[in-house]
Amino acid sequence: WAMDPPAPGRYRLWYERCSARIVGHGFAAPQNWMQYVVSMLVFNLAIFALTYLVLMLQGHLPLNPDAKEGLEASLAFNTAASFTSNTNLQHYSGEQSLSYFAQLFAIMWCQFVSAATGIAAVTALCRGLSGRRTLGNFYQDCWRATSLVLLPLSLVMAIVLILAGTPMTLEGAAEAFTLEGAVQTI
């Protein structure tokens, strides 16, 4: 029964192997604590910058049937910072201020990657407390948290919402007439 230990990476999942080929071998290289922290900070800075740009430029981006303009600079900064750090502080009404593109590709994207960043950080903390010299790889941990935990949960919830008949549309705001005869934008 004595067998040689498996080669490193032999039991990696197929999508991790594909990701490593696309991104490069640094995707799975072990990192010490400093490399892990720098990777996490650079990743979060990139998330913040991309979210800020989407919020500022939403008037020029697709999926904007109601022609919503970009957010004011300080509001876009506050929103990008809060969703990147997973605090989700909102000083606006999302449906009235944000286009569908901004809601889907800035806000909802941040909901995934900020949670994955937190899961990766806790995973690294546990590895560090166990006495390991390397903490794993931040990008691989973030990818695993997203693909193994967050995406499957979101797919299950999407199916539940579809079965419950929750409406979803990418059309512009609808106008309804109230009993008093006033027009209400929904």
Q: How far is CA 48 from CA 30, 79, 82, 126, 140, in A?
A: 25, 9, 9, 26, 20
Say whether pLDDT at 1 is over 90.
Answer: no
Q: How far is CA 38 from CA 35, 132, 150, 179, in A?
A: 5, 18, 24, 58
pLDDT of residue 25: 58
pLDDT of residue 93: 73
User: Which DSSP letter does residue 184 get?
Assistant: E
What is the tens place of the pLDDT at every residue in 47-102? Answer: 999 999 999 999 999 989 888 999 999 999 999 999 999 888 888 776 778 999 99
User: Which DSSP letter does residue 108 get?
Assistant: I
pLDDT of residue 96: 79
pLDDT of residue 3: 41
pTM: 0.80
pLDDT of residue 94: 65
User: Which DSSP letter does residue 121 get?
Assistant: H
pLDDT of residue 97: 87
Residue in this structure with the two tokens 């067998």, named with its chain if needed: 3
The C-alpha angle with vertex 63 and arms to 51 and 115, in degrees rounded to 5, equals 35
**Side chain identity at 77, as an amino acid letter?**
F
Q: How far is CA 158 from CA 7, 24, 102, in A?
A: 38, 32, 20
Confidence tier at 46 by pLDDT (50, 70, 90): very high
Query: Contact at 8 Å (CB) between 134 and 30?
Result: yes
Say whether pLDDT at 24 is over 60.
Answer: yes
Say whether pLDDT at 8 is over 60.
Answer: no
Report the pLDDT averaged over residues 19-41.
81
Residue in this structure with the two tokens 């957010």, named with its chain if needed: 71
Nearest-10 Cα torsion for 116, 122, 127, 128? 130
16 burial class (0-12, 13-18, 19+ CB within 10 angstroms)?
Answer: middle
What is the tens place of the pLDDT at every residue in 121-175? Answer: 999 999 999 988 889 999 989 988 998 899 999 999 999 999 999 887 888 888 8
What is the tens place of the pLDDT at every residue in 164-177? Answer: 998 878 888 888 88
Query: Contact at 8 Å (CB) between 83 and 110?
Result: yes
d(CA 139, CA 123): 12
Nearest-10 Cα torsion for 72, 170, 167, 151? -80
